Chains A and B, each alone.
Chain A
Amino acid sequence: SQQGEEDPQALSIQEGENATMNCSYKTSINNLQWYRQNSGRGLVHLILIRSNEREKHSGRLRVTLDTSKKSSSLLITASRAADTASYFCATGAQKLVFGQGTRLTINP
């Protein structure tokens, strides 16, 4: 069964706007990761946030984690056409459990 639920399932925005995706999970975690997937193939690791962290930045990415609400968000600032992809959150140490993903489309 899927640990994470992502919201929204699909998001379409204009280039230059910010995109926010949310992820909720069910059990306690040590860390949470975000991955990107282009064209239904390999997953690219974006960022990992530990359970004792509340916010983490990497370039145009900002991830927040609220363990009391069992939720995380991924913010992509100043979006580009190349950011068009599906984004997944994942929990677990070895056996990653993925959410259903958010399909992000950046319109030029």
Chain B
Amino acid sequence: GAGVSQSPSNKVTEKGKDVELRCDPISGHTALYWYRQSLGQGLEFLIYFQGNSAPDKSGLPSDRFSAERTGGSVSTLTIQRTQQEDSAVYLCASSLARLAGGRETQYFGPGTRLLVL
């Protein structure tokens, strides 16, 4: 079956512009996650959606970052007024509803490589 897909694969933008990154989770997965991977910070959690619950935004680095998930499926991560330090690979993952003992596996997409000039 299809895995997690992300678009675009690569995005080059100018400092100060807004960007939108899209994630299509695996069908039937109720949980969706965004992570960021940069040279200086490694892999960092950004935000987590679970069903209809309020998202856990505790990892978002600033109020320039926001995300939404429409219809419990596709998610969009928006970065406003991009800065050079936003350059990173943005990874999306999805998983099934939480199993007993937190055994759910997160399946990752290929990522979007963002370069802010």
Which residues of chain A from 68 to 86 have a CB within 8 Å of any chain B CB?
A: none
* Interchain CA distance A42-B48 in the complex, whole Å: 18
Residues of B within 8 A of A96 (CB): 33, 35, 43, 45, 106
* Interchain CA distance A2-B40 in the complex, whole Å: 12
The number of A-B residue pairs with CB atoms under 8 Å apart is 61
By size class, the interface of chain B is 20 to 34
Interface string of B1-20 (1 = CB under 8 A from A): 00010000000000000000
Q: List the interface of chain A (C-beta within 8 A of B).
A: 2, 30-31, 33, 35, 40-45, 48, 50, 88, 92-101
Q: List 23 A-B contacts (CB under 8 A).
A: A2-B42, A30-B101, A31-B101, A40-B37, A41-B110, A42-B4, A42-B111, A43-B91, A43-B108, A44-B108, A45-B108, A50-B101, A88-B43, A94-B33, A94-B98, A94-B102, A95-B48, A95-B56, A95-B59, A96-B35, A96-B43, A98-B42, A99-B42
